[in-house]
Amino acid sequence: MLNAVINATPSALIVVDAAGIISHIYITGRPQTSLALFIGKSFTRIIRLIFDTHNSQLIYNTFRSCQTSQQPTAINQLKHNSRRHLTEYFDCDFTPAPEQNVIIFFKNVTEAVLLQEEFFTITEQHDTLNQELCTAMANLDFHLMDLEHAHKKLSALYRITAIVQKTVNEQEVLTEILDGITRELGFTNAAILLLDPESQELVNKAHRGYNDKIRIPLGKGVTGYAALHRELVYVPDVSADERYIPGTTDAFSEVAIPLIVNDQVIGVLDVETSEDRVLKAYDLDLLRSLASQIAMTIDHANHVTQACIQASTDGLTNLYNYRHFQTILAQEFKRAHRYKRPLALLMIDIDYFKHYNDINGHRYGDDALKAVADLVRQYCRDTDFVFRYGGEEFVVLLPETTIAEAHIIAERIRKAIAEYPFQNSNNQPGGALTVSIGIAGYPDDANSETELIDAADAALYSAKRSTRNRSCLYSSDVS
């Protein structure tokens, strides 16, 4: 029962006696033989080695309060900065036991806390969008339309603003917007063209009735003119306008409205109608109002997507971060275990990086970290995952890869980095900036995610203890 509780979540259970001495200890993923050195040690000394002064004092005071009062107590979401400079959160429960013993349960709740913070951020963004919708609806010029057109406008606005509650995928957002325009307003030919900042072309991203491969240079055609001049353009008869670029087979009239966010044109909403559908003044007014909301909806979806990317990416190297590593490792390990497939892990550490920083300064140190990240990514395959583990350490997760195959990749990475012309690398021990790499794999070296990390870490430190600038396979001799 105890193992089931402990293994259900990253946690530790410690029993401390009346004298403050650890009598029992259990930690997720750690064999009891490796924990024996903690038995008989001072609980106060151990927590001071792990936590900073403030947190260790808080834990000690709570432990003594529980011991004295014989009442359960707890510390929720204790913030802890690890030695790898990673922020973690713990729930700590203190329960009195006979003879003034205290049972202390540490549970790692980092992922839950970070997900909660991200949820609050997205909720705030959603509330802002709803406020913008209310403002847009309040400003509608109802007296220019009859009730039928007002109803259509509100229905279309509601459908568009409700999209981001279902998805933030750009293509799905654009498709849903066009569904709203065609279903609620009866247009059969409609398209959303987004501006490519590099080519300065309007690209057809979603449409009903248009050519899929339309690309229109900024300033060309009716849509390009609307984007360049940032104004609605209405052409009652396209055959009489030399700017017209055919988009549909039965076009008679065309209206193009620029999509503008924060004073920047991001694209154009384009509608073409046949001769039997005459556009009225209220149609143009309606499309102008919709374009404003469409632009905000697209921008919001892109913002949420970028926020999700940033939440899983290291800002300096653009590699996946430690948090995303934990997620991907869990997924890939589960898949490897289920289908009996190999999974390899590389743990990479820059040799003498503190020396490099001290000699050259942190700006060159950051440049070196980015260059190492690029080289590691370059010499990995598209199916591999590359992460910044923390500080000057990197991790590569290699699905469907044996230890022998992983060793070949590790050597390619190591040699490429050793030969790279880093700034002032000749001042490093050995005359070059190099890396050491630890290699471990499932199922040969580990039966769990934690064991796989520990095995790769042990292999890395074996490489660091020898010559450095080498890759080392895990074996029981280096554990």
Per run of 10 residues, the mean pLDDT along the chain (length 479 residues) is 50 88 83 79 87 89 90 89 80 90 88 80 76 65 51 61 57 75 74 88 82 83 90 89 82 88 89 80 80 79 70 86 91 93 96 94 94 95 92 95 96 96 91 96 94 95 93 74
Measured CA to CA, the distance from residue 45 to residue 56 in angstroms comes to: 9
pLDDT at 433: 96
Nearest to 159, CA basis, from 299, 270, 305, 297 = 297
Helix, strand or coil, per DSSP, at residue 455: helix
Beta bridge partners of 347: 395, 438
Q: In what order do the strands lie in the sheet with 215-217?
A: 215-217, 201-208, 189-196, 264-273, 253-261, 233-235
The 10 Å Cβ neighbour count of residue 162 is 13
Measured CA to CA, the distance from residue 195 to residue 224 in angstroms comes to: 10
Measured CA to CA, the distance from residue 126 to residue 291 in angstroms comes to: 19
User: Residue 475 contacts by C-beta under 8 Å, 6 or more apart in sequence?
Assistant: 459
Nearest to 300, CA basis, from 476, 125, 109 = 125
Contact by Cβ (8 Å): 80, 90: yes
Helices (H) and strands (E) in the chain, counts: 14, 16
Q: Give Cα separations from 391 to 179, 284, 388 (angstroms).
A: 48, 56, 8
Q: Please work out, in degrees rounded to the nearest 5, the angle formed at the alpha carbon of residue 296 by the alpha carbons of 295 and 301.
A: 100
Extract the tokens encoding 109.
Answer: 């709740």
Extract the tokens encoding 336.
Answer: 């490897």
Nearest to 421, CA basis, from 364, 466, 467 = 364
Mutual angle of helices 53-69 and 43-50, in 10-degree steps: 150
pLDDT at 336: 93
pLDDT at 144: 45
- The string of DSSP codes covering 308-362 is HHHHTB-TTT-SB-HHHHHHHHHHHHHHHHHHT--EEEEEEEETTHHHHHHHH-H
Q: Which uninterrupted H or E stretch holds 458? A: helix 449-465
Measured CA to CA, the distance from residue 163 to residue 296 in angstroms comes to: 12
Peptide bond just before 98 cis, omega within 30 deg? no
Beta bridge partners of 255: 234, 271
Measured CA to CA, the distance from residue 62 to residue 211 in angstroms comes to: 69
pLDDT at 36: 78
Extract the tokens encoding 453.
Answer: 């990390």
pLDDT at 33: 73
Extract the tokens encoding 300.
Answer: 């919001």
Model pTM above 0.85 = no
The 10 Å Cβ neighbour count of residue 288 is 14
Mutual angle of helices 170-185 and 147-162, in 10-degree steps: 170
Contact by Cβ (8 Å): 16, 101: yes
Beta bridge partners of 266: none
